[in-house]
Chain A
Amino acid sequence: MDVLTLSRIQFAITAGFHFIFVPLTLGLSILVAYMETRYVMTGNEAYLRMTKFWGKLFLINFALGVVTGITLEFQFGMNWAEYSKYVGDIFGSPLAIEATVAFFLESTFLGLWIFGWSRVSKKTHAFAMWMVALGTNLSALWILLANGWMQQPVGYVINNGRAEMVDFMALLTNPYGWTKFFHTVLSGYVVAAFFVMGVSAYHLLKGSHKDLFSRSFRIGAVFGLISSILVALSGSLSAEEVAAVQPTKFAAMEAQWETTKAAPYYLLLLPDPKNETNAIEAIGIPNMLSLLAFRDPNAEIKGLKDFPKDLRPPVMGTFLSFKLMAGLGFLFVLLSLIAVFVSRKTDIEKYRPFLWALVFSIPLPYIAGQLGWIVAELGRQPWIVYGLLKTSEAVSRSISVGEVWLSLIGFTLLYGGLGVIDVYLLTKYSKKGPDDDLSQIVNFLKAKEV
């Protein structure tokens, strides 16, 4: 394999691995902050116990999210030097701003939150977690504005042999970046909601800490319903954005080979990329695809055959990832809708099959998130910056096959090992349940009040 292929595999592995931990951080930070705020407002120790329990899981997850994030920032220079030279003038800024505006906020206030129980007032302590949540979500905004620029480059001119920024506001208000931000962040909330529901369901099934976990379950269910509906809506907006600016990605997502006006939406569809057609194409809803893509039943959908073969993304991978992700998205709405109903009952623990289903659903939103990134990044190929720079032109020239093999093997082993340990610890502390003895914290907090 050459440096390009190895570097692509390495970026996919390191970015994909990073995104196992990010979504839970995005959503759980908000839920923990909410629980702690409820405690501060009501003085009810059940909320404090919840804060501590979910907070511990948050921290185990957060550790890997942080350390795997540094890799990505370094990798742009290490493996994609030509890319960095060509677009750094405009792409570097959101990354630097992300660190300055967001990373400092989350890490500094998280340190305060972990160690500060005996040092600051209750209110300040809860405020610290809100700052962590704000920092985490702001970091998502900046990195997705950066990624949005790779999808739809705006606000630049080609000058001195590279892309130079001429309009910062265009970068900042890039609609692609914003729809991507909402879609991604909301999908993180779904991950957190299903994580909280799944772990709570497990404890309700085991009959431990009913009060704490039925409360958590209710919070997770409502949060899950709101965010899964919004993630579907923002997904629809994202697809419209793709249709408008990335015709090749959209055609691959929908396996659309021929340019068609008033295109139907097929419920049963399977592409046959070798013969540039679809192996299965049945149960079409007339005009639906045109309507979904352009809000116009007669709009024209560009087909893949309108583009040279070397400018088309891999169709099968993009298509399957997209359809599976979208299908999971509808499942999440359905499951959280039922969960909201069940959570209103006083005998939640009696709904055993449903609770077990939720326990086993914990991985599903994670999978949907990974699939979403495959659609976004694989569907953009062969471009690294859509229409502007090809991935094959972006890789570093000075690194050797041997070096990249070494780093790829190193990352795979290291991340594999750490991933196993992290899942082990998350499972261990999820099953263990809350700490019954809150006297220490309560004493800290009381001592602080007088």
Chain B
Amino acid sequence: MEFQVIWFILWGILWAVYFVLDGFDLGVGMLSNFIGKTDPERRQIINTIGPVWDGNEVWLITAGGATFAAFPTTYALMFSYLYTPLLLILFGLIFRGVAFEFRGKVEGEAWKKGWDAAIFLGSLVPALLFGVAFGNIFQGLPMDDKGYHGSLFTLLNPYGILTGLLFVLMFLNHGALWLLVKTTGEVEKRAISLIGRLWTLLLIIAVSFLAYSYFATRLYDNFLKMPLLFVIPVVAVIALLLIRPLASRGLYLNAFYASGVLIFAVVFTGVVGLFPNLIPSSISPEYNLTIFNTSSSVYTLKIMTVVALIFVPIVIAYQAWVYRVFRGKLGIQEVVENKDAY
């Protein structure tokens, strides 16, 4: 297999893993003000992700870094063309990150409310805009040899917005399932009553997305050429359909895993559909940014492959270990009594 193809797959995996992992953090961040009615409840909620959110966010930095190292021209154009949405994503992630740390550091209603708002917006904005950005990448950006002919508002087209909503709902659903796995008491009860409605909404949006993709993008071309690939969207649909029955039987962890599979498979449906493009041009295919015309030299790709093969398994091993250390539910009492908690 060519190194460009290997790195295309790795590129897809890095983004997909980021969305699976930080997806529930973003979902929890969007939900915390609604599921948590009191300060201790909100603390219980954000402390479930306390030990892991930062490590999850590094997958984003790695995905960005891998784009830079393996496909520098795509990195350069993707990030400069999507300047304003990326800026807003950055501001969101900055607010969210400091909000976790600062929220509990001063006593006071206004202080906490302010940071609660920062957590909400700092989770909603990245979730929505990542979806909008990927939706637009799926359908192609208006770019040619002279550059980019769009703005933030051209990105807010119906398909872009639908993909944005899909990401928001996938993450809300993922976050709610995480809370079912990790919490007890009132928070758990509210998450239970919410999950049914979230799931129904997600089902509607996800089906619309898969159908609309057929008309708005060329994502299905690769699948029609190689029908075996339909396994990926089919897995997404099965995972989505399994979430509800698993959750209502109380098998929260399995439902959460199904939700992770759903996110991974949705992202990969898009990634496989893009191949061999990283960003298609909506003006003409001759301006497509492909894995071949934007990649690093084979020498660089080889070096990076060795690095990835050695270090990514190590990272996965210690991250998995940390998840294991913090397994089990987090009660409100444990949070309130713990001086080191957020």
What residues make up the interface of A, taking CB atoms closer than 8 Å to B?
Answer: 59-60, 62-64, 66-71, 73-74, 76-85, 87-93, 95-101, 103-105, 107-112, 114-120, 159, 162, 164-166, 168, 396-399, 403, 406-407, 410, 414, 418, 421-422, 425, 428-429, 435, 440
CB of B32, distance to nearest CB on chain A (Å)? 17
B250 at interface, CB cutoff 8 A: no
Report which B residues bind A (CB closer than 8 A).
Answer: 47, 50-55, 57-58, 60-62, 64-66, 68-70, 72-73, 75-81, 83-84, 86-87, 90-91, 93-94, 97-98, 100-102, 105-106, 147-148, 296-297, 299-300, 303-304, 307-308, 311-312, 315, 318-319, 322, 325-326, 337-341
User: Which residues on A sit within 8 Å (CB–CB) of B91?
Assistant: 410, 414
Nearest A-chain residue to B295, judged by Cβ: A89
For A110, the chain B residues whose CB sits under 8 A away are 54
Known A-B contacts A67-B94, A78-B86, A89-B297; the reply to A114 vs B68 at CB < 8 A is no
Q: Which residues of A contact B54 (CB under 8 A)?
A: 66, 107-108, 110-111
Residues of A within 8 A of B297 (CB): 89, 159, 164-165
Given contact pairs A77-B75, A99-B64, A396-B83, enumerate 6 new A-B contacts (beta carbons under 8 Å): A60-B105, A77-B68, A78-B83, A104-B55, A111-B51, A111-B322
**Residues on the B chain within 8 Å of A399, using CB:** 80, 83
A85 and B64 form a contact (CB under 8 A): no
- The distance in angstroms between the C-alpha atoms of A414 and B297, with both chains bound, is 38
Q: Are B322 and A164 in contact (CB under 8 A)?
A: no
Q: A88-B69, A92-B72, A410-B91 are in contact. Are A108 and B83 (CB under 8 A)?
A: no
Q: Do A92 and B101 contact each other (CB < 8 Å), given the known contacts A70-B90, A77-B78, A84-B76?
A: no
Q: Could you list 11 examples of A-B contacts with CB < 8 Å?
A: A71-B94, A76-B75, A84-B79, A92-B65, A92-B75, A96-B69, A99-B64, A103-B62, A107-B58, A108-B52, A108-B319
Docked-complex contact A85 and B65, CB < 8 angstroms: no
9 A-B pairs with least C-beta separation: A88-B72, A77-B79, A92-B69, A96-B65, A92-B68, A63-B101, A84-B76, A81-B76, A111-B51
Docked-complex contact B75 and A84, CB < 8 angstroms: yes
Q: Using Cβ atoms and an 8 Å threshold, which residues of chain A touch B304?
A: 93, 96
A88 contact from B57, B76, B308, B312, Cβ within 8 A: B76
Given A77-B75, A111-B54, A165-B303, answer yes or no on A440-B62 (Cβ-Cβ < 8 Å): no
CA distance A120 to B280 in the complex (A): 49
| Partner pick for B61 among A103, A118, A120, A410, CB 8 A cutoff | A103
Tell me which residues across on chain B come within 8 A of A428, comparing CB atoms.
105-106
Distance from A356 Cβ to chain B, minimum over Cβ atoms (Å): 27
A403's closest neighbor in chain B, by CB? B83
A95 touches B68 (CB 8 A): yes
Q: How far is the CA of A60 from the CA of B91 in the complex (A)?
A: 19
Q: A99-B62, A115-B326 are in contact. Are A108 and B90 (CB under 8 A)?
A: no
Q: CA A301 – CA B66 in complex, angstroms?
A: 42
Q: Cβ of B73 and Cβ of A85 under 8 Å apart?
A: yes
Complex contacts, B51 vs chain A, CB 8 Å? 111-112, 114-116
| Alpha-carbon separation in the docked complex, A117 to B50 (Å) | 14
State the CA gap A166–B303 with chains docked (Å): 10
**Which listed residue (A71, A74, A96, A105) contacts B66, Cβ 8 A?**
A96
